[in-house]
């Protein structure tokens, strides 16, 4: 397994369902190896594998389980033997792992699993077609303990927009973890928020404004509580997918910092490129590259500190090069 070290010398750890790494831990003794996770993302992250069903003492192979009952409070029971009920054990293990694995920067769960699925897991009733509205017992308990943690299912990562969003959230959260390791102060919270302002605007403008108000009040409130509230709302905001329209608005905002430096021709070229991107006639990289070119010629310290234009090099490679 290739391990990549970040700029501060620590590994970027992501939790993962063990079967996705090729470990033969499924109920039938097989695996669900995902070559994208092991081959591509595995070059940048260190995976921390977990199989909750094995961890709570179920064997390999073992009787399969499924969710039954109501979607909001299902039970995990044996498919053939309903007296096999592992709900409480899976939930307890999820809560335990959420405390134990506090250094994770993200998590990839196995989709549709009654223990690990994040959404649309089948929940069976006494009769009729099962509702695809449940959540795996372990995943639900784990994420309740770490509600801010970037998490995704392996199947959804085949969607380029969802994959890019997940990677962006992982690196944002990793930067927060580095901040927390230094010690949270009001000044550091302000600096962190300032660095992410433009990226946040591309995802959720209302959250951008609300988080700005929260940061402004941080010095007058309990800092630990303010930090926890900020982190939760920040990560929720970044779950909202950025759109070409919101990106274009941010690009126009960036252009405003160059208005005294560009001549009429440069302004027309940049404006035309932004509008072309908004209409779907040019890739996002086109106006972004042009803006970076102009900011190299006309540096601005505020813009230079923005993660929107200057993300971690590995983040840039993963988001743009896959």
In this predicted structure, what is the pLDDT of residue 89?
Answer: 98
- 23-31: long-range contacts at Cβ-Cβ below 8 A with a sequence spacing of 24 or more? 23/49, 23/51, 24/60, 25/51, 25/53, 25/54, 25/60, 26/60, 27/53, 27/58, 27/60, 27/61, 27/62, 27/63, 27/64, 27/65, 28/61, 28/64, 29/60, 29/61
In this predicted structure, what is the pLDDT of residue 158?
Answer: 92
pLDDT band for position 315 (50/70/90)?
A: confident
Cα separation of the two ends of the chain: 20
Tokens of 281: 């006639």
Q: In the predicted model, what is the mean pLDDT of the chain?
A: 93
Rg (CA), the chain: 22
In this predicted structure, what is the pLDDT of residue 136?
Answer: 97
Residues ≥6 apart with Cβ < 8 Å to 68 = 74, 75, 77, 82, 123, 124, 125
Whole-angstrom Cα distance, residue 38 to residue 34?
6
On the CB side of 238, how many CA atoms lie within 13 Å of its CA?
27
pLDDT band for position 320 (50/70/90)?
A: low
Tokens of 15: 């939790």
In this predicted structure, what is the pLDDT of residue 207?
Answer: 96
Task: Evaluate if residue 133 carries a pLDDT over 60.
Answer: yes
In this predicted structure, what is the pLDDT of residue 248?
Answer: 97
Asked whether 108 and 37 are in contact (CB, 8 A), the reply is yes
Tokens of 102: 């506090």
Whole-angstrom Cα distance, residue 218 to residue 224?
9
Percentage of residues in the chain with pLDDT exceeding 70? 95
In this predicted structure, what is the pLDDT of residue 223?
Answer: 93
As a whole number, mean pLDDT of residues 118-124 equals: 95
- Per residue in 17-47, pLDDT (tens digit) is 999 999 999 999 999 999 999 998 988 899 9
Whether the bond into 61 is cis, omega within 30 of 0: yes
In this predicted structure, what is the pLDDT of residue 297?
Answer: 96
Residue 134 DSSP SS3 = strand
In this predicted structure, what is the pLDDT of residue 46?
Answer: 95
pLDDT band for position 322 (50/70/90)?
A: very low
Q: 14: which strand partners?
A: 47, 106
Residue 114 DSSP SS3 = coil
- Per residue in 255-276, pLDDT (tens digit) is 999 999 999 999 999 999 999 9
Name which of 2-6, 25-29, 113-117, 251-255 the model is least confident about: 2-6
Percentage of residues in the chain with pLDDT exceeding 90? 85
pLDDT band for position 316 (50/70/90)?
A: confident
Task: Evaluate if residue 4 carries a pLDDT over 70.
Answer: no
pLDDT band for position 228 (50/70/90)?
A: very high
- Per residue in 273-303, pLDDT (tens digit) is 999 999 999 999 999 999 999 999 999 999 9
Task: Evaluate if residue 129 carries a pLDDT over 90.
Answer: no
């Amino acid at each position: 397994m290739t391990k990549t070290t970040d700029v501060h010398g620590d590994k970027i750890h992501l939790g993962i369902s063990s079967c996705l790494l090729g470990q033969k831990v499924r109920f039938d003794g097989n695996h669900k190896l995902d070559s994208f996770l092991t081959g591509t993302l595995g070059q940048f992250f260190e995976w921390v594998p977990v199989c909750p069903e094995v961890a709570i003492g179920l064997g390999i192979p073992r009787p399969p389980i499924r969710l039954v009952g109501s979607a909001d409070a299902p039970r995990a029971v044996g498919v053939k033997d309903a007296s096999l009920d592992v709900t409480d054990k899976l939930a307890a293990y999820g809560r335990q792992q959420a405390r134990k694995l506090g250094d994770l920067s993200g998590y990839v769960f196995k989709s549709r699993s009654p223990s690990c699925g994040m959404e649309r897991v089948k929940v069976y009733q006494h009769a009729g077609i099962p509702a695809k509205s449940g959540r795996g017992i372990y995943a639900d308990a784990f994420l309740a303990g770490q509600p801010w943690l970037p998490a995704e299912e392996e199947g959804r990562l085949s969607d380029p927009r969802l994959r890019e969003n997940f990677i962006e959230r992982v690196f944002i959260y990793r930067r927060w973890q580095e901040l927390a390791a230094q010690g949270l102060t009001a000044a550091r919270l302000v600096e962190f928020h300032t660095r992410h302002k433009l990226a946040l605007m591309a995802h959720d403008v209302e959250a951008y404004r609300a988080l700005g108000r929260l940061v402004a009040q941080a010095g007058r409130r309990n800092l630990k509580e303010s930090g926890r509230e900020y982190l939760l709302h920040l990560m929720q905001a970044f779950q909202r997918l950025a759109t070409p329209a919101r990106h274009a608005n941010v690009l126009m905002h960036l252009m405003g910092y160059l208005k005294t430096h560009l001549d009429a021709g440069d302004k027309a070229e940049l404006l035309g490129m932004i509008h072309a991107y908004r209409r779907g006639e040019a890739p996002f990289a086109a106006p972004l590259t042009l803006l970076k070119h102009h900011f190299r010629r006309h540096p601005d310290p505020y813009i230079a500190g923005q993660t929107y234009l200057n993300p971690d090099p590995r983040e840039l490679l993963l988001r743009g090069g896959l």
